[in-house]
A and B are shown apart, each in its own frame.
Chain A
Amino acid sequence: MRIELEKRPDVSKLYAFVSPLLALVLTLAFGAIMFAMLGKDPVEALDAFFIEPLLEVWSLHELAIKAAPLILIAVGLAVCYRSNNWNIGAEGQFTIGAITGSYLPIVFYDWHSPLVLPLMLILGALGGALFAAIPALLKAHFNTNEILTSLMLVYIAQLFLDWLVRGAWRDPKGFNFPVSRDFTPEAVLPAIWEESGRAHWAFIFAIIAAIGVWFMLRYTLKGFEIVVLGQSERAGRFAGFSSKKMIWFSFLFSGALAGLAGIGEVSGSIGHLQPAISPGYGFTAIIVAFLGRLNPLGIIASGLVLALTYLGGEAAQLSLGLSDKVTRVFQGLLLFFVLSCDTLIYYKIRIVWSRLRGGAA
């Protein structure tokens, strides 16, 4: 038995829409088998994982809280990946954004002003962009592989945060715990709708960013430039586009969004700095970007789906005693299925049973 691919004359519009859904269904089916193997009732487990968290208002708020950083980061990554720049260090840019954004509320703890919050957000975005500038500089001017450098910088950012909260920025009244001082109320990102739950403004930023980037990709010259350079650098050069400038643009842009996500998370959800501020949002956002087919509007939907895997993981851990590692397995599987289903968009798949090359057909 052999699998043969035949290139479609045109990209299949049908499968472009169906493929992410198919991937979801396959992941769920596979998940059910996995739950059964772990000795849990698959229906009950899937219900706890994917349905229960959607039935209560407070947990919908949690969904928005978890989706916000995922969407913000993934939208930036979509710009990178579309232009063929492989920034996989968003986790590091997220961390540095959280640090630079926290500078004001920690170092100038006693400065109370309505300016604090907007300045924090700007500093966070700047920090993320500057940190992403390192792999951009190295790729544009030293020809260095951006995948490896951006990833190495994640470890460096996390160690730097660890040093800060155990050293200079540790709360003097924190009983030696590695946490910073709690932010004052002016430095906390407000809730969107306080009466019903915790979801804060980072989610609004995420939606705005997604719509903005969708508009940019679809209706502006910059968007066209991104797509052209991503598909063929040579064609882009003939059109007068500079791939070097695109490296800078895509990295700074995605770094800024990741940094904004970082400070949004720290200010809105955590309220202080601590050694671990992210359950791998920067990496999960890569899955979000691909599940959304690198389309910002698709990313809103896929960000919510991936946020649900985090929530469902926590819920299933409590109600069924499932390991919290199941979440990461789900996320990994989902990316695999997304990538395999995407083949259907560009190719017809034929299973050939005969051993003859090309078959008798």
Chain B
Amino acid sequence: MSIFEAILLTVITASTPLVIAALGELVTERAGVLNLGVEGMMIMGAVGAFAAAQLTGSAYIGIVGGIVSGALFSLLFAFLTLTLVANQVATGLALTILGLGASGMLGEAFVGAPGVRLLPIEIPVLSAIPYVGTVLFKQDLIFYLSILLVIAVNWFLFRSRTGLKIRAIGDNHASAHALGIDVIRTRYLAVMFGGACAGLAGAQLSLIYTPQWTENMSAGRGWIALALVVFASWRPWRLLAGGYLFGAVTILQLHAQAFGIGIPSQFLSMLPYAATVVVLIIISHNRRTTLINTPASLGKAFVPDR
């Protein structure tokens, strides 16, 4: 395997969780709900996936465990913000704080345990393509899923009836309600989809990225995923591109550390976070385009009138 292929492979591994988690949040935000708990749902997914894989010995059951943990955990957020109309920002933070704590407690038994790695699946014929074949077509299931999800979500949001309803709710929940769309129910589902995606992203971390359990292993990726949604101006394809850009920055700094160029490792480790800030500035400095792209009801509470 050439260096080029090796680097590309690590970039994909670093980008996939960002893309998946951000895609889930994109759908949630399109429905007008701002869930800042991505980091918490992701880490719960990571621990859930790791535990399920440990107990059954199957990485595939691990994936299911991750998705289910993320989705169930997001229900907590949905109940508070949608049924009890609690402040979405504060509840999202609560979800992250609780997720980091609870995952640490639940995962304590697994610290140091050798993980179950999810093995790649080789797609015949395609994987023989020179240079990119082994990189793109001898990958694990979660990578394939991430690409399929981008395509599916893009179609769903912009080509399907339900997608139209979701966007309508996100832009004006009062009108959507007046048209007879069940705002709360749809938002519940959108939040749970976000949770499931964050859980899947967490599963990728604890089954592929580093197949073991360490506390706080999400290391801020959930927050970067949130920034990605803004970066992508709520569009799935841009999100895919952004995810890979961030993945590349992460890997770049790791390689730079390995080569031992003159910059202290701490400053290189700052790069993904600094890049997030810079990208946010570039994307949001134009007030008008931000206003056009942002779902108009994002973060606002909705109480149906009767």
Contact = CB atoms under 8 A, between A and B. Distances in A.
A339 B80 contact: yes
Contacts of A162: 266
Contacts of A358: 306
A314 to B, nearest CB: 15
Nearest to B220: A155
Contact of A148 (B87, B102, B223): B223
A155 B272 CA distance: 10
B interface secondary structure, majority:
helix
Contacts of B36: 147
A143 B285 CA distance: 5
B86 interface: yes
Contacts of B273: 152-153, 155-156
A286 B93 contact: yes
B105 A347 contact: no
Given A151-B223, A159-B266, A328-B100, A335 B94 contact: yes
Contacts of B97: 283, 286-287, 328, 331-332, 335
Interface residues of B, number: 46
B98 A153 contact: no
A123 to B, nearest CB: 22
B90 A339 contact: yes
Interface string A257-294: 00000000000000000000000000100110010000
A145 interface: yes
B93 A138 contact: no
Given A88-B93, A149-B277, A357-B306, A159 B267 contact: yes
B98 A148 contact: no
Interface in B206-232: 215, 220, 223, 226-227, 230
B281 A343 contact: no
A326 B103 CA distance: 10
A interface secondary structure, majority:
helix
Contacts of A151: 220, 223
A277 to B, nearest CB: 16
Contact of B98 (A4, A163, A329): A329
A4 B306 CA distance: 10
A5 interface: yes
A343 B80 CA distance: 9
Interface in B171-208: none
Contacts of B287: 143
Given A5-B85, A340-B86, A335 B93 contact: yes
B128 interface: no
Among B97, B100, B101, B108, chain A packs the most CB atoms within 10 A around the CB of B97
B119 interface: no
Interface of B: 36, 76, 80, 83-87, 89-91, 93-94, 97-102, 104-105, 108, 215, 220, 223, 226-227, 230, 264, 266-267, 269-270, 273-274, 276-277, 280-281, 284-287, 290, 303, 306
18 contacts: A143-B285, A143-B286, A143-B290, A152-B277, A155-B270, A163-B266, A163-B267, A287-B94, A325-B102, A325-B104, A327-B101, A328-B100, A330-B101, A332-B101, A339-B90, A342-B86, A343-B84, A358-B306
9 closest residue pairs by CB, A with B: A332-B98, A328-B101, A163-B266, A325-B105, A325-B104, A335-B94, A339-B86, A329-B101, A343-B84
